[in-house]
Structure 1
Amino acid sequence: MSQPSQQPHESIKRELSYSRRNRLDLFRRIPQADQGMALLSLSPKVQRYIMSRINDQELIDILNYLDPQQSARLMRRVDVKRAEHILEKLNVNARDKVEYLLRFNPRAAAGLMNLNYIVIPENSRFADVSKILEREEHATGKFPTILVVDDGHLLGELPGFELIRARPSQHVLPKIKKISTLPYNSPEHKVVQSFLRHPHDKLAVVDDDRAVLGVINTDDIIPLIHDRGPGGLYKFAGVTREEDAYDSALTKVKYRYKWLIINLGTAFLAASVVGLFEATLDKFVLLAVYMPIVAGMGGNAGTQTLAVAIRGLTLREIDLRTGWRFISNEMIAGTINGIINGIIVAAVAILFNHNPMLGLVLAVAMVANLLIAGLFGAAIPMIMKALRKDPASSATIFITTATDVCGFFVFLGLATLLLH
């Protein structure tokens, strides 16, 4: 597909998320060859909406333009009876591959793999590989991953560039490179973890006997990040995963108002702490100027720690046994960052306000608040995880409350003691 022709389709895809009345008409304006990729790029909710309204033949025509793995992703959004009918209408080769992929758990490694690979024996020569590749490319139109096996067991991958450099009579075995593998039943987070920890462009999915079942490319985990990563991000901000960017205003209100009311309650709690020091603020109005700095630094530091904690819990890098080490490291890091930033803010107070005691109060408050941010930013997600609650759904509210309340109390409490 040429680049110029993509631009109008991108505009239509954006409209599909925005317009409810004309979604089906808009979708049908996309050329049939591009409808499958357009459908895959939409949110699950919009996918289900469109697929439930197009007829079986339209869906079959769409699937004929997609890879088996992409077809399997869409077929999982169709009820079983309709899926069986549609699969019967696909060409035999495509049907066999889609049915094969649908056998596996969609939330495991096998559910993410593609079948764009060929397997060659270890004693093959480059001339043999070239013939196999020619047939494969003619059948699929794609250059496959070349895997080398010994008696069915995976040895490694033959990089495509070796075909250019090698002589036809050469054996492939000396030219293979190691390829990472994962058992077919590995959960999704293990797949993501493997790509994050050991950067590579692909890994092989194997069965219990190390026989190859499929290949996962970097591109294959993008839908996983799209479907799950943003979901965590939305929960992180108090926005539900099912909320689309172009939902109506009332729909957005319905999804968000509960968290905002809770946040309002915690804001009143922080305000009540400030109210305890009303006399101090009346006497030293300058303290009010620095309050947002103390609160803001604590909130930002807590959010940074929270992001690391959620990532660690999601990828199983942190658990309840190793949690204390993580918490202590974050507290130490918070203390050091507090000292650095405390020195800076104290210098500003001394330089511009000519008040060394105010500088001392600010420095100590900054250290204390960033220490608190490290503690709560690390501990709250772990506590919620232990209680079998999603740490991404509401942890930010509690962490912000903790840093605001404790930060204001330390800052204004020290000011009351030292400045008086």
Structure 2
Amino acid sequence: MSHEKELARTLTYRKEERMDLLRAMPLSERSAVFEEFSPYVQQAVIKELKDHELVDMLDNMDMRHAEGVLARVQEVKRRARIVRRLKGEIKEKTEYFLRFHPQATLSLINFNYLFLSSTLTIGEAADIIDEHYDETGKYPELLVHEDGVLIGEVQFSALVRERNRSLLKRYVKPVTTIPYHTEVPKIIETIVSSKAKKLVVLDRDESVLGLMYADTVRPLFGNLPAESLYDFAGVDDSERPFDSVSTKVHNRYRWLILNLATCFMAGFVVLLFQETLDALTILSIYIPIVAGMGGNAATQSFAIMVRGITLGTISLQTAAPAILRELFAGAINGVIIGSIVALISLVWNGSALLGLAVGLTLVCAHMVAAVAGTAVPLIMKQLGKDPAATSTIFITTVTDVLGLLFLFGFATIILL
């Protein structure tokens, strides 16, 4: 039994003196002893340690053990405080994984693997696996390297079928890898394109950091953007560049018909104000400006909401503060853009009242766009629909129809 294991065993049964004895140890020894405690004792020690003591200990651990300690810090606010105070590599990687999802931390990465030399025999590998199982109670993934460079993995089935004297390198299979700093959409794209059940996460120096399982990633990040990309464009996800003309038409015409219906709604608004438009033909110049600015403003809010939905940081039930902030931001942006357009209208058309009507229209259009871009994807998600695929047509309808109503309405009230 190692010195650290002996100390851990002794301190386990000396509860009254445990913390004093731990604090009296050098930092490296304290960290090593802590790693030998049972999960129950580790939990008790974590509760007793002050934040700065826990930070010092984490900075002295490798990534595997640091992940385990952070996972046992049950209070979310305390965990965030500790992460902010970490230093060096552990801080960088922990903050990176916290960006993925508020519940992720480092638990997204699995450290249950062995990094075995390709020159080992199956018999030698089996002995190492047995030791790992005795220590952790889990059978590991088997990654294989040549001179420290990952070359693939070996399935457990190979260990069972083949002779003990056979070399591991004969049974190596390719494995999908990603750098640890890969962004979320790229991770999901890699899983989809490779159909891999797991990814090996590599550090900056190409060394293995850990494993990421597809079954863990999918529920954490929601719908896959590769699917949404096709839906967003109004095409079927099975359509390919060299499909036949009939296939392309079949996959797209219903989406285009739905778009056509919404265009007629905007046209109906113009028809309602035909007399206003006949009297003020100059308004036709501002129709594309109002529609374009409203659509662009809605797209900005929409992109932020879809990202939040994908990462699980917002839902319809918790969205009220976000919608309110988007509304205020839309109002301020509307005042800025509306003032610019009103000034241009005054100089170009020589009419302050026309500038006022267009300016007020853009303020209201930006507010509507902000609310629509925020609320519609949340509603679609609540209804069980893909927000990226189904929201845009409704957002465009709202911004176009109400934008035209504001333009013609203010023009009628102010100028006629």
TM-score scaled to structure 1, two decimals?
0.52
- Bigger drift between 265-274 and 230-239 goes to 230-239
1:234 is aligned to 2:247: no
Alignment of 1:375-386 (within 5 A): 375-386=371-382
Deviation at 1:310, TM superposition (A): 1.3
**Farther off after superposition, 309-318 or 399-408:** 309-318
Q: Comparing 236-245 with 253-262, which one deviates more in the overlay?
A: 236-245
Q: Which amino acid aligns with 1:327?
A: I
For residues 414 and 212 of structure 1, the distance between their equivalents in structure 2, rounded to whole angstroms, comes to 71
What residue is the counterpart of 1:204 in the other structure?
A: 109
1:336 CA drift (Å): 0.9
Checking the alignment, whether the CA contact within 8 Å between 2:365 and 2:403 is kept in structure 1 is yes
Query: Deviation at 1:347?
Result: 0.8
Residue in 2 aligned with 1:321?
317
Please show how residues 141-156 of structure 1 align to structure 2 within 5 Å.
150-151=35-36
Q: Deviation digits for residues 189-209 of structure 1, max 9, x if unmatched?
A: xxx9745469999963157x8
From 392, 399, 414, the equivalent of 1:396 is: 392
Post-superposition Cα deviations, 1:317-338, rounded to whole Å, max 9, x if no partner, equal 1012211111111111111110
Aligned residue identity for 2:411? A
Shift of 1:401: 0.4
Which moved further from structure 2: 382-391 or 230-239? 230-239
For normalisation by structure 2, the TM-score amounts to 0.53
What one-letter code is carried by the residue in structure 2 that aligns with 1:312? Answer: G
What residue number does 2:189 align with?
225
- Is the partner of 1:243 in helix, strand or coil? coil
Letter in 2 for 1:354: G
Aligned length: 251
Partner of residue 338 from structure 2, selected from 337, 342, 346? 342
The alpha-carbon distance between structure 1 residues 224 and 417, as it changes in their structure 2 partners (threshold 3 A), is same
**Percent identity for Structure 1 against Structure 2:** 39
Deviation of the 1:180 alpha carbon: 5.1
Deviation at 1:250, TM superposition (A): 2.5
Q: Which of the numbers 285, 288, 295 marks the counterpart of 2:281?
A: 285
Aligned alpha-carbon RMSD (Å): 3.8
Q: Is residue 299 from structure 1 mapped to residue 295 from structure 2 by the alignment?
A: yes
Q: What residue identity is the alignment partner of 1:371?
A: M
Q: Rate the CA distance shift 1:211–1:324 in 2: closer, same or farther, 3 A.
A: farther
Once residues 210 and 315 of structure 1 are traced to their aligned partners in structure 2, the CA distance between those partners, rounded to angstroms, is 32
Q: Following the alignment from structure 2 to structure 1, what is the Cα–Cα distance between the partners of residues 339 and 137?
A: 58
SS in 2 for 1:389: coil
Structure 1 residue runs of 5 or longer lacking an equivalent are: 1-121, 124-147, 156-172, 184-191
Say which is worse superposed, 383-392 or 405-414, in terms of deviation: 383-392
Residues 212 and 276 (structure 1 numbering): CA distance in 2 closer, same or farther, change over 3 Å?
farther
Q: Distance in 2 between matches of 1:361 and 1:381?
A: 30
Per-residue CA deviations over 1:128-174 (Å, capped at 9, x if unaligned) read xxxxxxxxxxxxxxxxxxxx99459999xxxxxxxxxxxxxxxxx95
Aligned pairs for 1:85-104 (under 5 A) are none
Cα distance in 1 for residues equivalent to 2:309 and 2:137: 29
In structure 1, the residue matched to 2:156 is: none
Distance 1:176 1:205, change over 3 A: closer
> SS of the residue aligned with 1:318?
coil
2:380, 2:390 within 8 Å by CA — same for their partners in 1?
A: no
Give the SS at the match of 1:321.
Answer: helix
Distance in structure 1 (CA, Å) of the matches to 2:109 and 2:373: 37
Partners of 2:410 and 2:139 in 1: how far apart?
65
Say which one has the larger Rg. 2
Residue 349 of structure 1 deviates from its aligned partner by 0.4
Is this contact kept in 2: 1:381–1:395, CA < 8 A?
yes
Tell me if structure 2 keeps the 8 A contact 1:236–1:392.
yes
**Aligned CA distance change for structure 1 residues 415 and 356 (closer, same or farther; 3 Å):** same
What is the CA–CA distance in structure 1 between the aligned matches of 2:387 and 2:239, rounded to whole Å? 19
Q: Decide whether aligned partners of structure 1 residues 241 and 360 sit closer, same or farther in structure 2, where only a CA change above 3 A counts.
A: same
Does residue 363 (structure 1) correspond to residue 327 (structure 2)? The answer is: no
1:206–1:212: 8 Å Cα contact kept in structure 2? no
Describe how 1:25-44 pairs up with structure 2 within 5 A.
none
Q: Mapping of 1:99-114 within 5 angstroms?
A: none
Q: Contact 1:204 / 1:212 at 8 angstroms: preserved in 2? A: no
1:344 CA displacement = 0.7
Structure 1, 247-256 or 378-387: larger mean CA deviation: 247-256
Structure 2 gap ranges (5+): 6-31, 43-58, 72-95, 113-135, 142-176, 193-223
Relative to structure 1, is the Cα distance of residues 229 and 174 closer, same or farther in structure 2, using a 3 angstrom cutoff?
A: same
Per the alignment, residue 244 of structure 2 pairs with 248
Residue 264 of structure 1 corresponds to 260
Classify 1:194/1:252 alpha carbon distance in 2 versus 1 (closer, same or farther; 3 Å).
farther
